[in-house]
Chains A and B, each alone.
Chain A
């Protein structure tokens, strides 16, 4: 091509561009898809059959070495699956971009042929004589136009060629030059991406490999925007998303999973098994990404992700329900949604929303997940299969200074979280195989305010039949009738010694229990505002355990007193889900989640 075309450096000419066989690129992409699937199948077999088989039947040093070897292979296949999947999309996306430019080129060549212009090897276009000369009336001489790859960068000369063919030839030459230039640019970009997608040598999958893989996924995603066109229906309803997913071909699904594991994994309405598979991949990529950072926030989240990864790999112990990762993310305070039991096949599904001070940290990964696991185990003792979910899908308020922050916590987080929880439950309902699954929303602490927020949306929380509040500082409404399920389906557990479920008395304020954050002028000021309200009020409106609220209060343990053994403790706020410390509470919640609320042990309202 001529120097003006700008494509000289790549050596790409329009005739070469025209001959690129995009179907062959797509065929190569399919090959990568196939081998990626083989790697996925190998990983599946290792993690789903071989490792559990070894765990159950063999003990000793040699089998342990076999377990280590298989684990390493499993990681290896996960890495191969991820990267080969990215390769497939990279090639498909390259083909897509080249085809687009081939269409532009072909349009220009067709126009040239129709006008009997000649397009030369360098992209210049020769046009014949035409028009009439002003002086002698003879046709104006023909000529040759050279293309400009970047129109607008060349200022118009001000001289208009009198031959009417000249303008048309210039337009054709420009389109040819632009197509070649754009194709060369794509070639350059994709060459770089391909270079980064080479396999690391050896069999190990060190952390740095996942850090690289995370960067690869981001690069491919960025490049493939035009190809995959991000058709993920983020703004659709969960039911519409379910239908969208069902309508994709296997190949399309595989590509979405390879390129957008984070989006698909966190998309409400997508089947749980698909979300789980996507999130397990995304978990590796997220860990890789956070490994590459050295700030405290990343370290905290990384510890949580590692613990979740450990639990996923360890698999369920005998009698425990399997674990499904329905959501994971590092935005804000972090996100994690874990189900114990398959929420699509379970007849009974309960989701627990944690509250104050919950964030994606190690404590969450151990303690909060255990809450859903224990609840699932207890619920599954009653009839139909049950799943229980820990839902950290929002930024719960953090209170480094104890309850003082609760006093001044705004409703904003709960409203925002409520919207997200509302949508999540819509997804659970849409994806569930049963016509009318029995669904329960459980809010603990500030999480009950979040559930209350979710219930305020028109129609209440989708699919939810029962609402449970434990350790609630108020739910944002004054009556159990205002939650969309009827007062008989609203349940409250409030431990006698749980200070979060009551306003502190004047005496407690005066005591200045600094350790749990009651002290200080700010608190006194906040309490002053609160104490002036109705006597059955708590932090966020009326106490849901009060007579006036109208919910069914169920029996829970008292919990240790605030000032019992010398130093202040608010443990009474944190025992509702612990089958060891508060069996009555767990048993009652399990009965409600299993649709057997007529069997719960009740307690008088406050």
Chain B
């Protein structure tokens, strides 16, 4: 479960990426046109924003999968437990 939580934390960690790049590029976006490098930079930025977003989604999906695994294991354990609970066992001395 810790790993699933860790994957969710990654989603949070990567959340601000697009906003940070937006803010950082405000100036150059306004001044675009002066240098052809700045025009290229726009396309570069878009490609990395996609890559970050894909990675972020992957973290989220991995977290979900890991939680499902844990849930599955818990349910299986409970199923096994309740299965055993249904079995009438001769109790010796009551306790177990």
Residues of A within 8 A of B (CB): 10, 12, 16-17, 19-21, 23-25, 27-28, 30-32, 34-35, 38-39, 41-42, 45-46, 49-50, 53-54, 57-58, 60, 62-63, 65-66, 69-70, 73, 76-77, 80, 83-84, 87, 91, 94, 98, 187-188, 190-191, 194-195, 197-203
B77 within 8 A of A: no
Q: Which residue in B21, B34, B40, B52 is a CB contact (below 8 Å) of A31?
A: B21
Q: How distant is the Cα of A190 from the Cα of B39 in the complex, in angstroms?
A: 11
**Is A187's CB under 8 angstroms from B62's CB?**
no
Residues from chain B with a CB closer than 8 A to the CB of A30 are 24
The listed residue (A19, A35, A91) touching B21 by CB distance below 8 A is: A35
- Contact partners of B35 in chain A: CB under 8 A: 12, 20, 94, 98, 187, 191
Whole-angstrom distance from the CB of B53 to the nearest CB of chain A?
10
On whether the beta carbons of A66 and B14 are closer than 8 Å, the reply is: no
Asked if B48 and A80 sit within 8 Å, CB to CB, the answer is yes
Return the contact of A84 from the options B7, B48, B50, B55 (Cβ within 8 A): B48
The 30 sampled A-B contact pairs (Cβ below 8 Å) are: A10-B36, A12-B34, A12-B35, A20-B31, A24-B27, A24-B28, A25-B28, A27-B24, A27-B26, A31-B20, A34-B20, A35-B20, A35-B52, A38-B13, A38-B14, A39-B52, A45-B6, A50-B6, A58-B69, A60-B69, A65-B65, A66-B66, A73-B58, A84-B48, A187-B36, A187-B37, A194-B41, A198-B43, A203-B54, A203-B58
Q: Which residues of A contact B16 (CB under 8 A)?
A: 38
A63 to chain B: closest CB distance in Å? 6
With contact pairs A66-B69, A197-B44 given, residues A28 and B28 touching in the complex (Cβ less than 8 Å): yes
Seen from chain B, the residues whose Cβ lies within 8 Å of a Cβ on chain A are: 2-3, 6-7, 9-10, 13-14, 16-17, 20-21, 23-28, 30-31, 34-37, 39-41, 43-44, 47-48, 50-52, 54-55, 58-59, 62, 65-66, 69, 72
**A62 surroundings in chain B (CB, below 8 A):** 65, 69, 72
Nearest CB to that of B50 among chain A residues? A199
CA distance A141 to B21 in the complex (A): 56
Q: In the docked arrangement, what's the CA distance between A313 and B29, Å?
A: 40
Q: With the chains together, A201 CA to B72 CA distance in Å?
A: 34
**Contact with A194, one of B2, B37, B52, B54 (Cβ below 8 angstroms):** B37
Determine whether the beta carbon of B13 is less than 8 Å from that of A45: yes
Give bound CA distance, A49 to B37, whole Å.
Answer: 39
Please tell me if the beta carbons of A32 and B24 are within 8 angstroms of each other in the complex.
Answer: yes
Q: A53-B3, A80-B52, A98-B35 are in contact. List 6 more A-B contacts (CB 8 A).
A: A24-B27, A30-B24, A45-B13, A58-B3, A194-B37, A199-B51
Instruction: Identify which of B6, B13, B31, B40 contacts A24 (C-beta below 8 A).
Output: B31
In contact, A45 and B20 (Cβ under 8 angstroms): no
The 10 nearest A-B residue pairs measured at CB:
A31-B24, A24-B27, A199-B47, A199-B51, A62-B69, A198-B47, A194-B40, A190-B37, A50-B6, A191-B37
Query: Which residues from A are CB-within-8-Å of B58?
Result: 69, 73, 76, 203
**Chain A residues, CB < 8 A from B25:** 28, 31
Whether the Cβ atoms of A21 and B31 lie closer than 8 Å is: yes
Residue of A28, A32, A62, A197 with highest tally of chain B CB at under 10 A: A28
Contact for B6 among A34, A49, A198, A201, CB less than 8 A: A49
B20, B21, B34: which has the most chain A beta carbons within 10 Å? B34
A65 to B72, CA, bound (A): 15
A53 touches B51 (CB 8 A): no
B39 CB to nearest chain A CB (Å): 8
Q: Closest CB of chain A to B11's CB: distance in Å? A: 10
Residue of A nearest to B61 (CB): A69
CB pair A188 B55 closer than 8 Å: no
Complex CA–CA separation, A46 to B9 (angstroms): 11
Q: Is the CB of B24 within 8 A of A21?
A: no
